[in-house]
């Protein structure tokens, strides 16, 4: 009987191990081949680090794109996720791509309820971003009027903070898998007018950042307060900018998606700005792209680079 008990116990552990492997395993793709330089600066008594990708044929008046990583991640890991897409576009469009490292793996965004150290210690990541811009102005041929930010999850919240508090320094931002904090969770002081070009990308089955709004947790742990729905978030910026909704929706072609996910765009726009919501029907807490495979626990990924490409085009096409 004891032997049967041991066999049963071993079988249970095997099942649990197999399930854990299925839901948590994610192969790490190689880093993009383009060269990057690791840079640092001192700010508020802390050393802050960031990676900088420079196009091989850098021309005067280059744009700058900040790319902010998710919680408990890093600049290098974010580059693994999106570098293959964004650095290709950067070569074409004369863009310097900057991957900042968060303080102890996080950025201090606008969510009052967040409990990680960057938040509790009130690390000034807006000042960090401004300091990086100033350093690039001194060392590279950049155009200060063409500075943008894209972020994922906690990094998306950081991009939204820049849109709210530093629209004089950042022209446009895109937030992936991150909705605007609800009023009871908002702890930023927005400028009178936010950044004029805003993109949201959200999956309808996101298990972390609820597409329809509500409480953000890491699978039941680490409460980070309430957020608006993805559409309410886009509408908030559209209202702040006085933009009218565009009647038609654009359905983007699904490419290389075994699960048959679809992506849909809604736009609010006028001469005063442009807000876009891209909805991934059935998508999870992931960045839409073709090469990086997320752990299954985060949900389905829209396996195409088209959303990132369209999001960048929306931000950069308004640079005039």
Instruction: Compute, in degrees rounded to 10, the torsion defined by CA atoms 159, 163, 164, 165.
Output: 90
The token duo for 259 is 């699960």
Of 175, 166, 144, give the one whose Cα is nearest residue 64: 144
pLDDT at site 18: 38
- Provide the pLDDT for residue 251: 66
Task: Give me the pLDDT at residue 13, please.
Answer: 38
pLDDT in tens, 178-191: 999 999 999 999 99
Determine contact, residues 33/45, Cβ cutoff 8 Å.
no
Instruction: Tell me the DSSP string of 166-226.
Output: -TTT--EEEEES-PPBPGGGB-----SS--SEEEEEEETT-SSS-TT-EE--BTTBS---E
**Percent of the chain clearing pLDDT 70 (strictly above):** 87
Residue 238's pLDDT is what?
A: 97
Structure-model confidence comparison of residues 60 and 247, the more confident one: 60
For residue 129, is pLDDT > 70?
yes
pLDDT tens-digit series, residues 64-78 = 999 999 999 999 999
Distance CA 126, CA 109 (A): 9
Q: Do the Cβ atoms of 266 and 298 come closer than 8 Å?
A: no
Q: What is the mean pLDDT of residues 270-277?
A: 94
Is the confidence at residue 157, as pLDDT, over 60? Answer: yes
* Of residues 166, 172, 160, 294, the one with CA closest to residue 228: 160
- State the pLDDT at residue 15: 38
- pLDDT over threshold 80, residue 14: no
pLDDT at 1: 52
Q: Measuring CA to CA, how many Å separate 92 from each of 55, 221, 313?
A: 8, 42, 12
How much is the pLDDT for 246? Answer: 82
Inter-residue contact 39 to 54 (CB < 8 Å): no
> Stretch 289-299: mean pLDDT, rounded?
93
Highest mean pLDDT among 2-6, 42-46, 197-201: 197-201
pLDDT tops 90 at residue 257 = no
Domain residue spans in the chain? Answer: 31-316
**pLDDT bucket at 318, cuts 50 / 70 / 90:** low
Q: Could you give the CA distance from residue 295 to residue 24 in angstroms, rounded to a whole number? A: 5
- Least confident interval from 5-19, 203-217, 273-287: 5-19
What does the alpha-carbon distance between residue 153 and residue 137 come to, in Å, rounded to a whole number? 28
Fold of 31-316: Rossmann fold (3.40.50)
Predicted local distance difference test score (pLDDT) of residue 252: 63
pTM for this predicted structure: 0.90
pLDDT in the model for residue 19: 37
């Amino acid at each position: 009987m004891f032997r049967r008990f041991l066999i049963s116990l071993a079988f249970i552990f095997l099942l649990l191990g197999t399930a854990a492997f299925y839901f948590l395993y994610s192969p790490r793709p190689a880093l993009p081949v383009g060269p990057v330089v690791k840079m640092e600066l001192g700010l508020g008594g802390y050393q802050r680090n960031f990676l900088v990708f420079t196009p091989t044929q850098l021309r005067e008046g280059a744009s700058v794109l900040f790319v902010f990583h998710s919680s408990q991640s890093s600049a290098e890991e974010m580059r693994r996720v999106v570098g293959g897409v964004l650095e290709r576009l950067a070569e074409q469009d004369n863009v310097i791509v900057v991957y900042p490292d968060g303080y102890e793996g996080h950025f201090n965004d606008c969510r009052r309820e967040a409990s990680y150290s960057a938040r509790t210690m009130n690390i000034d990541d807006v000042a960090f971003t401004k300091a990086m811009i100033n350093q690039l102005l001194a060392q590279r041929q950049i155009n200060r009027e063409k500075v943008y930010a894209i972020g994922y999850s906690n990094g998306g919240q950081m991009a939204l903070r820049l849109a709210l508090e530093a629209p004089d320094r950042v022209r446009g931002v895109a937030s992936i898998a991150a909705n605007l904090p609800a009023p009871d969770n908002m702890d930023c002081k927005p400028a009178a007018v936010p950044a004029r070009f805003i993109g949201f990308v959200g999956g309808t089955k996101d298990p972390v950042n609820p597409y329809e709004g509500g409480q953000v947790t890491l699978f039941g742990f680490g409460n980070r307060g309430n957020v608006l729905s993805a559409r309410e978030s886009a509408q908030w910026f559209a209202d702040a900018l006085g933009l009218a909704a565009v009647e038609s929706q654009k359905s983007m072609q699904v490419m290389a998606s075994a699960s048959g996910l679809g992506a849909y765009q809604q736009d609010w726009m006028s001469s005063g700005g442009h807000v876009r919501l891209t909805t991934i029907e059935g998508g999870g807490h992931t960045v839409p792209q073709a090469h990086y495979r997320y752990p299954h626990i985060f949900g389905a990924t829209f396996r195409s680079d088209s959303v990132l490409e369209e999001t960048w085009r929306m931000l950069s096409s308004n640079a005039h």
